[in-house]
Chains A and B, each alone.
Chain A
Amino acid sequence: MKIIQSIGILLFLVGLAVFTVMPFLGNYTLTKEVVLSSTKDIHQEKMVNILEPMYGETYSSNFSFLSTYKEYFNEYNEHLKAESKWDDVIWDDYSLSLAQSSLNSPVRDSPWLFFGLSIGLAVLGGLMYNLPKYRGEPEGIKNNGIFHSAMKNRGWMGMITGAYLILFYIILYWFPAYIVNQIWMVTPLSMLLSGNPASQWFLYGTLYTLAITVMGVRMFRKYRGNKYQQLRTASVMFFQTAFAFLIPEILVLLNQPYFDFKNIWPLDYDFFYDYQIDTFLSSGGVGMFMLIWGILLIVIGVPAFTYFFGKRWYCSWVCGCGGLAETLGDPYRQLSDKSVKAWKYERVIIHSVLVLAVVMTALTIVNYFSGFALLGNVTNQLHSIYGFAIGSVFAGVIGTGFYPFMGNRVWCRFGCPLAAYLGLVQRFKSRFRITTNGGQCISCGNCSTHCEMGIDVRWYAQRGQEIVRSSCVGCGVCSSVCPRGVLKLENGSTENRINEMPIIIGNDSIKINA
């Protein structure tokens, strides 16, 4: 079994290496035709002139191609900016589409081959590593060696993994022109699903879904014998694959708007942006359904489901961010900060993001109906600031890139405005709580250590108190790792949900006058 696992690791690393060297493959040749087909009508004439010196030249790397492109392009723009001819400046970034069309590379020629050699090998290797785990061992959760691991305890492997993830997100969000090979690689898959060429977002979605699948298999192995963990893992795998990945692509294939039916505002912060609303309104019955569905989820779905089940119904059973955190991120859950100080930061930051998202959306809606009469420019500014700072940096770069440094729920705990909204309902109007089993707690600290949200579960458990916290995503791991059967996630009567036990059950010495 060890041999299969070692081969698995090897294959995974080979796949990762192929994926990593891919941007350096092939060369770039720009032609006039490419420029014409890749630019907007209003810019075509200018761009054809600006880039004329590049035609016919073969650039051996994306670096030389893109730097030459930028040289000519910026020269043109700087000139106009210096003369304050703002209307003539070209604000669009054509680097991605030009690089994509100019590329000649083995990846573009045989995308499936490279798909197999990179993603395919990595997935195969990951499965070969995960599937035989714990084979021949009795059922039971083993957190053996987590804090002796260079990967899971901020050692060198964790540092490298984190750095790689951060770099990947930075390139994905701001420099996608450098990874056109990978985009070409997934293009045939995209054509199959939606009939359209791939974007960097399709590449990202593919990797994301596969990461959840492969690491979901790891969850099945790790938590074997634990039905709660298995079911919720299956649930996030299903919602990611079907709702986040396949259905939106198929909608596009059917000429409908791209839509993720389980993504809820304010996590889905652009739901009320003018172009989104226009898309919904211009897409007939289906578009209208999407708009109404989205609004119903916000005003009825979230409060009702959270009242009955707690925020876990979304955060650890449905959500895509949660899905990645619970699968790819599970090996890092113990790295969350449990201090009271971290809790204070958490409350300030996450509720600030919620307020920001609400204000921004309110302004957007007002502007939509008033035809951008009120603070029209500010709305656009807000959109780009929010998209950059919250949507990309916080949710992506920090949210996932920091798994190996601060645990797998950094975004969900500190940043997600939907988690803040769900949390307010969970804290003040919900049947959900984690019940403490009388006086059985031995203060060992497994629950707190393995809480991904940084909740000091033991603080409550050792007092015999129920745990009611807005941040709890109900992953159930505290209950799974408790050696004495003390914790149970429950939906029950809201009466006495928050209990202050003066004396822990089992001691009759002290009578409290009730």
Chain B
Amino acid sequence: MSSNRHVVVIGNGIAGITCARQLRKLDGSVRITVISGESKYFFSRTALMYVFMGHMKFEHTQPYENWFWEKNKIELKEAWVKSIDFTGKNLSFQIGESMPYDELVIATGSKPNKFGWPGEDLQGVQGLYSKQDLELMEENTKSRVQRAVIVGGGLIGIEMAEMLAYKKIPVTFLVREESFWNNILPKEESELVSRHMREHHIDLRLNEELKEIISDSRGKVKAIKTMSGEEITCQFVGLTAGVTPSIDFLRNTELEVKRGVKVDFGFQTNIPHVYAIGDCAEFHEAPAADRRPVEQVWYTGRMHGETLGYILAGKELSYKPGIWFNSAKFLDIEYQTYGTVPAKWDADQIKSFYWEHFGGKISFRMLMDLEGRILGVNNFGFRLRHEFFDQAIREKWAGEKVVSKLDKANFDPEFFAPYYIEIQKAFKAQFGGDVTISKKTFIQKLFGASV
């Protein structure tokens, strides 16, 4: 592989940047350019909400200081790509310039879903994905918003609700399903989150959908109408019903696209030397039984980038994700998951253990196969160790072994209440078996919070 080739990455999100950094680590001489119209420097998209709430300034969301890129010879181009000449291997920018490439990585990420609702493009109606969306949201909430409506019950929606709460804007939250995020969360967890949202005075409307957004005389939103016919006066509407690959400029070209850019497990598209990673890539088939062809998570974006970095450096690899993991924070409640815990399962095939703290904000679920071997866990309100569950699930530990060693898996700060002891007791009560119940340490007895 010629090492003075020019690798161009479109998109400076976690996928594109990880790819560029990984490639640079493995190959000191390849020329690397990263293009973004959104912002010159890489920032953490997941942190935009904290900028809005004044926890951080925008520059704090940038994981690398500005000198980092020059030092690592990663060229940054601030521009939007208009079109790509795949035969001539040349990019055209909206500002009129062009740039040749030898290898192209498409990492353009996602954009908020819009389902053709009447009024979805009115002033005061928006999604939240990009830096520009954040700036727009700051603009849209500057003048007095008496009520906001959020449509779509996912992670971005609840983040938006938290952001609006910072500005003391009351929120009505429309969720199409019968409980919050119930395509991902089992019933109990979904209810736990719903309760917490209501505790934060979010007006959660389940089984409710948006019908249309109503404009005032100046093209600004003034109300919405729901499917059930209710009209809700509001000055802001957040559209957070999921995201879709942001590849409009690639449609109707030689590049094979469907929902996203179609790729194999080497991230290779149908055109040689053109690759796609992150939110905008769509595998021909799902990479694993519990995964989907389009993976739109921070961590998968990072893994795609990491893997393609190796591939571009000449290593023979194909994408092979390990044990699934994910995390989120619902207002004040942290959530982690390891392994496979679907929203619903066949009770004849899978055994479920669920424990919930009497306060209703802390819970633990473990799914096991019929032989009692761990498949995955969900934990809310306390922290568990990634490494522990990566090993336990990979090695298919028996549920009782996992529970017996739960003190080792605990990742809560020192002096926190030892919830794992309660979980061990509950597990023993429900499944019996050879479960060791941990003893409180001396320090926990002396200072530890009570469970």
**Among residues 316 to 331 in chain B, which have CB atoms less than 8 Å away from a CB atom of chain A?**
317-323, 325, 327-329, 331
Q: Are A438 and B306 in contact (CB under 8 A)?
A: no
Decide yes or no whether A302 CB sits under 8 A from chain B. Answer: no
Residues of A within 8 A of B323 (CB): 506
In the bound assembly, the distance between CA atoms of A149 and B56 in angstroms comes to 12
Is B397's beta carbon under 8 Å from chain A? no
Nearest CB on B from A57, distance (A) = 57
With A227-B416, A504-B306, A509-B303 in contact, is A445–B61 under 8 Å at CB?
Answer: yes
User: Residues 334-378 of chain A: 1 if any B CB is under 8 Å from the residue's CB, otherwise 0?
Assistant: 000001100000000000000000000000000000000000000
Q: Given the known A-B contacts A138-B199, A138-B200, A483-B334, are A506 and B329 also in contact in the complex, defined by CB atoms under 8 Å? A: no
Return the CB mask of B214-257 against A: 1 if under 8 Å, else 0: 00000000000000000000000000000000000000000000
Q: What 1/0 flags go to B290-316 for Cβ under 8 Å of A?
A: 000000001100110011001000010
Min CB–CB distance B48 → chain A (angstroms): 9
Q: Which residues of B lie under 8 Å from residue A139 when comparing CB positions? A: 332
A143–chain B nearest beta-carbon distance, Å:
4
| Residue with the greatest number of chain A CB neighbours at <10 A, chosen from B299, B384, B411 | B411
B61 & A444 in contact (Cβ 8 Å cutoff): yes
B83 within 8 A of A: no
Separation in Å of the B161 CB from the closest CB of chain A?
14
User: Smallest CB–CB gap between B135 and chain A, Å?
Assistant: 15
Given A138-B332, A146-B54, A228-B413, A445-B63 contact (CB < 8 Å): yes
In the complex the two chains form, is B327's CB within 8 Å of A484's CB?
Answer: yes
Contact of A507 among B50, B307, B448 (CB under 8 A): B307
- Interface segment among B4-12, B171-179, B182-190, B385-393: the answer is B385-393
CB of B60 closer than 8 Å to a CB of A: yes
Min CB gap A138→B, angstroms: 5
Q: Is A489 an interface residue (CB 8 A)?
A: yes
Chain B CB within 8 A of A144 CB: yes
Contact A446 B50 (CB under 8 A): yes
> Is A222 in contact with chain B by the CB < 8 A criterion?
no
Interface assignment of A508: CB less than 8 Å from any CB of chain B: yes
Instruction: Say yes or no: is B428 at the interface (Cβ < 8 Å to chain A).
Output: no
Residues 118-160 of A, flagged 1 when their CB comes within 8 A of B and 0 if not, give: 0000000000000000000011100111111100000000000
Determine how close the nearest CB of chain A comes to the CB of B316; give it in whole angstroms. 11
Residues in A whose Cβ lies below 8 Å from that of B320: 507-509
Contact partner, B411, options A138, A340, A488, Cβ 8 Å: A488
CA distance A446 to B62 in the complex (A): 11
Count of chain A to chain B residue pairs whose CB atoms are closer than 8 Å in the complex: 160
Q: Does B368 have its Cβ within 8 Å of any Cβ on chain A?
A: no
Give bound CA distance, A489 to B416, whole Å: 12
Does residue A116 face the partner (Cβ distance < 8 Å to B)?
no
Given contacts A145-B53, A228-B413, contact A509 B307 (CB under 8 A): yes
**Chain B hits for A207, CB < 8 A:** none
Beyond A437-B386, A438-B387, A479-B413, whether A339 also contacts B65 by CB under 8 A is: yes
* A residues near B412, Cβ cutoff 8 Å: 488
Residues of A440-487 at the interface with B, using a CB-CB cut-off of 8 Å, are 440, 442-446, 448-449, 458-459, 462, 476, 479-481, 483-485
A503-B22 Cα distance, complex, nearest whole Å: 10
Which chain A positions have C-beta within 8 A of B336? Answer: 440, 484-485
A438 proximity list for chain B (CB < 8 A): 325, 385-387, 390
| Complexed CA–CA distance, A510 and B328 (Å) | 26
Q: Which of chain B's residues have a CB closer than 8 A to the CB of A339?
A: 65
Tell me whether A505 is interfacial, beta carbon within 8 Å. Answer: yes
**CA gap between A369 and B213 in the complex, in Å:** 88
Indicate whether A231 sits within 8 Å of B447 (C-beta atoms), given known contacts A138-B200, A140-B331, A437-B411: yes
Q: Determine the distance from Cα of A483 to Cα of B55 in the docked complex, in whole angstroms.
A: 12
**Contact residues, B101-150 vs A (CB, 8 A):** none
Nearest chain-A residue to B42 (Cβ)? A443
Q: Across the two chains, which residue of chain B brings its CB closest to A480? A: B413
Q: Does A64 contact B (CB under 8 A)?
A: no
CA distance A442 to B300 in the complex (A): 11
Q: Are A138 and B196 in contact (CB under 8 A)?
A: yes
Interface membership of chain B positions 45-78, coded 1 if the CB is closer than 8 angstroms to chain A and 0 otherwise: 0110010011111001111010000000000000
Instruction: Check: A494 CB closer than 8 A to any chain B CB.
Output: no
**How long is the Cα–Cα vector from A439 to B298 in the complex, in angstroms?**
10
Task: Give the distance in Å from the alpha carbon of A227 to the alpha carbon of B315 in the complex.
Answer: 48
Q: How far is the CB of A288 from chain B (nearest CB, A)?
A: 33
A507 proximity list for chain B (CB < 8 A): 303, 306-307, 320-322
Q: Could you name 9 residue pairs across A and B whose Cβ atoms are closer than 8 Å?
A: A138-B200, A138-B331, A146-B55, A147-B54, A149-B54, A227-B413, A438-B390, A443-B44, A485-B383
A interface residue numbers (CB < 8 A to B)? 138-140, 143-149, 226-228, 231, 339-340, 435, 437-440, 442-446, 448-449, 458-459, 462, 476, 479-481, 483-485, 488-489, 503-510
Chain B interface residues toward A at CB < 8 A: 14, 44, 46-47, 50, 53-57, 60-63, 65, 166, 196, 199-200, 298-299, 302-303, 306-307, 310, 315, 317-323, 325, 327-329, 331-332, 334, 336, 383-387, 390, 411-417, 447-449
Sample of 8 more A-B contacts, CB < 8 Å, known A145-B53, A445-B47, A445-B60: A444-B44, A445-B61, A445-B62, A449-B56, A484-B328, A507-B307, A507-B320, A509-B303
